[in-house]
Structure 1
């Protein structure tokens, strides 16, 4: 369990970027610090790294590759990932707040009517879960 009590430490929490840390960090850090003091919680001084180096390199590679409109199968092969693993990694990237534009892949690999039907379904859906 992490108890970040500075903006810098909050920025190291998985899923929190520098922007979020700067925007919301001070208020959260003060709240957490007060909670830690009031409950006599002993903090670990070694903060957990934001991401494992391997996953971080996957993230950067995936973002750069989709920006260059590289085929998803080629991205997966380059990182020795299955398509399922690649898609899960891409989902994590998106949930962390980074936009991935894969229109080029969708246009190339899926029938326009199917894409349109899927988009209509997602617009009407109450959640992002299928």
Structure 2
């Protein structure tokens, strides 16, 4: 099975780095686990490694509501060829349910690629051991 996001550069990144549901910190994907937070200020402190000023508003709104109720996982996908330009943000709960998807490049090919990446995350979250999904 070969990746088919519709964008060759993203397919090559999937082949090289894989798509991880758990911990990931590479040129293509960053993942941050957020335990239940008691307040907005504790949410801000938890997401400081991601850079607070760089969040899409829809992700921030979901974070401030959902993170207080249950643990969440925040995924960020980037294009290292374009100086780390963000493709999308995906906020999921620990059961693999997508809470919010924010696409950062407003072109139809990138929207489709973001949905493809999200589907890989959902597939990966359903696996019992959360092993990395890599092609090769």
User: After TM superposition, is the score higher than 0.5?
Assistant: no
> Structure 1 or 2: larger strand share?
2
Bigger relative contact order, structure 1 or 2 (CA pairs below 8 A, ≥6 apart): 2
With the shorter chain as reference, the TM-score category is: under 0.3
> Structure 1 or 2: larger helix share?
1
Larger radius of gyration between Structure 1 and Structure 2: 1
Q: TM-score, normalised by structure 1?
A: 0.25
Q: TM-score, normalised by structure 2?
A: 0.24
